[in-house]
């Protein structure tokens, strides 16, 4: 669903390229394909081998960049970023890539994720004289690099990364080198591809498709990849024994585009399998299955195939409605939802409808859509969710940082069903999620982060990242 309706957003998307004469233009197209990962700001930094040039701004990619923009963005290496503000909030200063200049050379950083020990590190760095120019947790890395004491950029970065805790996929560029790194748990997706002789790196493989690049491999947890004119080499900033994959399950459920492969698993295929598993776990007698556009369509198709109930387009998203301002009244907010999403009366009228959605965060959107289907004449509305209840906050770059905002944390399924006005409500089990994604049938060895469902976090969570009402299970 649209981020403005759903209220569930991820921090950002990263794209980088090295060894292409049109690096900035290629990055622009790559960012277009990652626009779903962040709509609040976009930026590109390019190197010509001697200096770094930047253009960034608030808004969508096609709002920030114009044809004339690229006249000043010349070079064969570039880093790009699309941002949704979570850690540090919004504002121009926090739009990435962040660019830092010094007498010893410049540095551009783009980051997907969230550092759970950022505040601790900021306190330490400020006590040593650092002055921060933004409120973004990403800036911490630049200060650590400049204070590392090592001569080589790769050694500076490795030393700095070893101090970070949390989720991070970094692209770091100097005048003559591109470096990319993934946290030891591999919480965020990051892939490497080739475009002719050039190397490309992206948060999702759909970015490779739009530019005609060939996928090569995933960046491994705890790996630092260094790309320059001599080629690509791999190093580690933590040992293989101390790193293990725990990729965010919500990439498969909601965030990633269906045409992307995340950790070599196709997202559409995974979502369709989740829908099939949901039909096995939560069957219902009904006349039609429909999915909430767009992220729930694949799961709805899977549910329909498994159950034998016909799939129909019972809900349509208006693709020509831009981002909306916060409306001053409940009545106008309701109208804003109707502008973006409409029920197809001839499909749902007089029918028992199974409405498939990928997740429920605060519950307000589900309530509005159920009401919309009823107003269009649906006899019954049965809500099925292709993920488990989200009961615990995420500290890794998704904007659900407190339990208070999560409806499943404070209400039973029956209470949620009653609040949204549905005839029935059921969620996929944690075991069903793991089985549906297909990496493993065992929850304990699935290679996914399940913290928002189970409360078991793959990293240490620092006290200053917690809301006073939140309690954690031991790591």
C-beta of residue 177 within 8 angstroms of C-beta of residue 153:
yes
Rounded to an integer, the average pLDDT of 340-364 is: 94
Residue 453 CA neighbour count, 13 Å, CB half: 22
What are the CA-CA distances from residue 160 to residues 104, 149, 237, 279 (Å)?
Answer: 17, 10, 9, 47
Confidence of residue 336 (pLDDT cuts 50, 70, 90): low
CA–CA distance, 352 with 289 (Å, rounded to integer): 9
Which residue, among 267, 188, 176, 260, has the nearest Cα to 221 in the 3D structure?
Answer: 188
Asked if the structure places residue 256 within a domain, the reply is no
Q: Domains in the chain: how many in total? A: 2
Q: Where are the alpha helices (DSSP H) in 44-165?
A: 61-64, 118-127, 139-146, 153-161
Structure tokens given for 332:
């106008």
Is there a single domain that holds both residue 443 and residue 398? yes
3-class SS at 174?
Answer: strand
Q: How is residue 405 annotated by DSSP?
A: G
C-beta of residue 385 within 8 angstroms of C-beta of residue 427:
yes
pLDDT at 418: 97
CATH of residue 154's domain is 3.60.20.10
Rounded to an integer, the average pLDDT of 438-452 is: 91
Rounded to an integer, the average pLDDT of 336-364 is: 90
What are the CA-CA distances from residue 346 to residues 157, 163, 350 (Å)?
Answer: 59, 58, 9
Is there a single domain that holds both residue 116 and residue 203? yes
pLDDT at 166: 94
Is there a single domain that holds both residue 414 and residue 287? yes
Looking at 179, 214, 245, the residue that finishes a domain is 245
Asked if the structure places residue 185 within a domain, the reply is yes
Is there a single domain that holds both residue 89 and residue 32? yes
Is there a single domain that holds both residue 135 and residue 279? no
Asked if the structure places residue 221 within a domain, the reply is yes
- Where is pLDDT greater, at 160 or 324? 160
- Where is pLDDT greater, at 220 or 147? 220
Rounded to an integer, the average pLDDT of 55-81 is: 96
Rounded to an integer, the average pLDDT of 226-238 is: 96
12 is catalytic: yes
Is there a single domain that holds both residue 149 and residue 229? yes
* DSSP sequence for 156-172: HHHHHHTT--EEEEEEE
User: pLDDT exceeding 90 applies to what percent of the chain?
Assistant: 73
Q: What is this structure's pTM?
A: 0.90
Can you say how many angstroms the Cα of residue 401 is from the centroid of all Cα atoms in its chain?
15
**What is the extent of the structural domain holding 157?**
3-245
Asked if the structure places residue 415 within a domain, the reply is yes
Is there a single domain that holds both residue 110 and residue 27? yes
Structure tokens given for 406:
């999560």
Asked if the structure places residue 470 within a domain, the reply is no
pLDDT at 328: 44
Q: Where are the alpha helices (DSSP H) in 224-309?
A: 250, 267-281, 297-307
CATH of residue 403's domain is 3.40.50.2020
Q: Which long-range contacts (CB under 8 A, 24 or more apart) does 248-251 make?
A: 248/167, 248/187, 248/188, 248/396, 248/398, 248/448, 248/449, 249/387, 249/433, 249/437, 249/448, 249/449, 249/450, 249/452, 249/453, 250/10, 250/359, 250/387, 250/398, 250/452, 251/189
Is there a single domain that holds both residue 329 and residue 384? yes
CA–CA distance, 121 with 131 (Å, rounded to integer): 13
Can you say how many angstroms the Cα of residue 366 is from the centroid of all Cα atoms in its chain?
21
Structure tokens given for 345:
């009366």
Q: Are strands 380-385 and 424-427 parallel, antiparallel or unpaired?
A: parallel
Asked if the structure places residue 420 within a domain, the reply is yes
Is there a single domain that holds both residue 337 and residue 402? yes
Is there a single domain that holds both residue 313 and residue 231? no
Asked if the structure places residue 251 within a domain, the reply is no
Q: Are strands 41-47 and 77-83 parallel, antiparallel or unpaired?
A: antiparallel
Which residue, among 285, 438, 301, has the nearest Cα to 356 in the 3D structure?
Answer: 301
Rounded to an integer, the average pLDDT of 287-298 is: 96
Is there a single domain that holds both residue 181 and residue 328? no
3-class SS at 62?
Answer: helix
What are the CA-CA distances from residue 350 to residues 353, 355, 374, 417 (Å)?
Answer: 9, 15, 10, 21
Asked if the structure places residue 7 within a domain, the reply is yes
pLDDT surpassing 50 at residue 386? yes
CA–CA distance, 101 with 87 (Å, rounded to integer): 23
Is there a single domain that holds both residue 236 and residue 279? no
User: pLDDT exceeding 70 applies to what percent of the chain?
Assistant: 89
Structure tokens given for 428:
């996929």
pLDDT at 5: 36
Q: How is residue 72 annotated by DSSP?
A: G
Looking at 218, 245, 272, the residue that finishes a domain is 245
CA–CA distance, 183 with 329 (Å, rounded to integer): 43
The catalytic residue among 12, 394, 446, 452 is 12
Which of the residue ranges 69-83, 188-202, 332-346, 355-369 would you say has the lowest mean pLDDT? 332-346
Which residue, among 203, 313, 294, has the nearest Cα to 254 in the 3D structure?
Answer: 294
Angle ∠(301,454,293) on CA atoms, nearest 5: 25
pLDDT at 463: 62
* DSSP sequence for 421-458: T-SEEEE--HHHHHHHH-S-S-GGGS-EE-HHHH---S
Looking at 220, 245, 270, the residue that finishes a domain is 245
Neighbours of 231 (CB within 10 A): 11
Average pLDDT, the chain: 89
Q: Are strands 223-228 and 231-236 parallel, antiparallel or unpaired?
A: antiparallel
CA–CA distance, 192 with 178 (Å, rounded to integer): 12
């Amino acid at each position: 669903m649209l981020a403005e309706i759903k209220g569930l957003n991820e921090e950002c998307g990263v794209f980088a390229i090295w060894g292409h004469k049109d690096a900035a233009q290629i990055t622009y197209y790559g960012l277009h394909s990652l626009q779903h990962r962040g709509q609040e700001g976009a930026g590109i930094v390019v190197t010509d081998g001697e200096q770094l040039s930047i253009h960034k701004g608030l808004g969508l990619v096609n709002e920030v960049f114009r044809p004339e923009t690229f006249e000043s963005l010349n070079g064969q290496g570039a880093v790009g970023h699309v941002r949704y503000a979570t850690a540090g909030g919004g504002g121009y200063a926090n739009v990435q890539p962040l660019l830092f200049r010094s007498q010893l050379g410049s540095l551009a950083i783009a980051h997907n994720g969230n550092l759970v020990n950022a505040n601790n590190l900021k306190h330490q760095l400020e006590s040593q004289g650092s002055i921060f120019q933004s409120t973004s947790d990403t800036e911490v890395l630049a200060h650590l690099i400049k204070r590392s004491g090592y001569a080589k950029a790769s050694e500076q970065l490795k030393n700095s990364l070893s101090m970070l805790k949390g989720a991070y996929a970094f692209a770091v560029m100097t005048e003559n080198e591109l470096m990319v790194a993934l946290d030891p748990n591999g919480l965020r997706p990051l892939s490497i591809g080739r475009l002719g002789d050039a190397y490309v790196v992206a948060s999702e493989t759909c970015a490779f498709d739009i530019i005609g690049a060939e996928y090569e491999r995933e960046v491994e947890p705890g790996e630092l990849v260094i790309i320059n004119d001599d080629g690509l080499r791999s190093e580690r900033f933590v040992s293989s024994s101390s790193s293990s994959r725990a990729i965010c399950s919500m990439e498969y459920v909601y965030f990633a585009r269906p045409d992307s492969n995340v950790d070599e698993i196709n997202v559409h295929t995974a979502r369709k399998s989740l829908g099939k598993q949901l039909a096995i776990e939560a069957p219902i007698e009904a006349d039609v299955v429909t999915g909430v556009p767009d992220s729930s369509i694949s799961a709805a198709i899977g549910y329909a195939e498994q159950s034998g109930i016909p799939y129909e387009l019972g809900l349509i998203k208006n693709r020509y409605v831009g981002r909306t301002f916060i409306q001053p009244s409940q009545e106008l907010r309701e109208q804003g939802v109707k502008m973006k999403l409409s029920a197809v009366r001839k499909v749902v009228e007089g029918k028992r409808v199974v409405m498939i959605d990928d997740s429920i965060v605060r519950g307000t959107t589900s309530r509005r859509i159920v009401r919309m289907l009823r107003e269009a004449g649906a006899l019954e509305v049965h809500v099925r969710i292709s993920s488990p209840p989200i009961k615990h906050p995420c500290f890794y770059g998704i904007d659900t940082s407190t339990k208070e905002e999560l409806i499943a944390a404070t209400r039973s399924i029956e209470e949620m069903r009653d609040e949204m006005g549905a005839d029935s409500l059921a969620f996929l089990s944690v075991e069903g999620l793991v089985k549906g994604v297909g990496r493993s049938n065992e929850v304990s060895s699935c290679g996914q982060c399940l913290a928002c469902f189970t409360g078991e976090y793959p990293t240490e969570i620092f006290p200053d990242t917690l809301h006073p009402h939140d309690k954690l299970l031991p790591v």
